[in-house]
Amino acid sequence: MSVSVKICGITTPEQALMVQQAGADALGLVMYRNSSRYVGLQQAIAVRAVIASDVLCVVLLVNADKEFVKQVIAEVKPDLLQFHGDETAEFCQQFDFPYIRALRMHDDLDIGVEAKAYKSAQSLLFDAWHPQQYGGTGERFDWQRLPRERGFNLILAGGLTPDNVAAAVAAVMPDMVDVSGGVESAPGIKDPIKVRDFIQRAKASN
């Protein structure tokens, strides 16, 4: 079965329709104000309205307060939340809602310990470490740090592009690849050709 593809940082309904037509399996909406791909509540609802039932809608949050998380669940109605900040396992679990836990690959990250702590997560997403940024850096990390044998769904992110996604899939064998900046012409503006090439190359590579 080919790898699934998530296109993150969707900012308009038009982008959402374009990436779905290109074959994306999941779309990510960034509801984090410090991101150049930030969408507010009403815009997120508008984008959500055009996402097909067979495509996953994922809302990315970074250190959001509990009440805002509940509001997102109630009003945006995503399929999954993606906790991309410093959220504890207890925080992520309290909503009784499917979630992805993003882990940024700093040097002393113990993947086994994290996988055990977040065993209730639907998937673990691995992204590059940056001391000032929670994702969206466009930077890669050493894919060899990721285990080939594992007991969790693995999403690979961090610096992926149409040019390197096939090698990434071959090296890591992830369940899903996640891209944002690597398919953009400018922050928050997805490039249709890059999106199409990324999806085709990812899915042809395994």
The catalytic residues are: 8, 127
The token pair at 50 is 């055009």
155 within 8 A of 138, measured Cβ to Cβ: no
Q: Please choose, from the candidates 129, 130, 144, 128, the residue with its C-alpha nearest in 3D space to the C-alpha of residue 178.
A: 128
177 within 8 A of 5, measured Cβ to Cβ: yes
Q: Please choose, from the candidates 61, 103, 102, 91, the residue with its C-alpha nearest in 3D space to the C-alpha of residue 78.
A: 61
Give residue for tokens 């791909």: 37
Q: Please choose, from the candidates 113, 94, 105, 82, the residue with its C-alpha nearest in 3D space to the C-alpha of residue 176.
A: 82
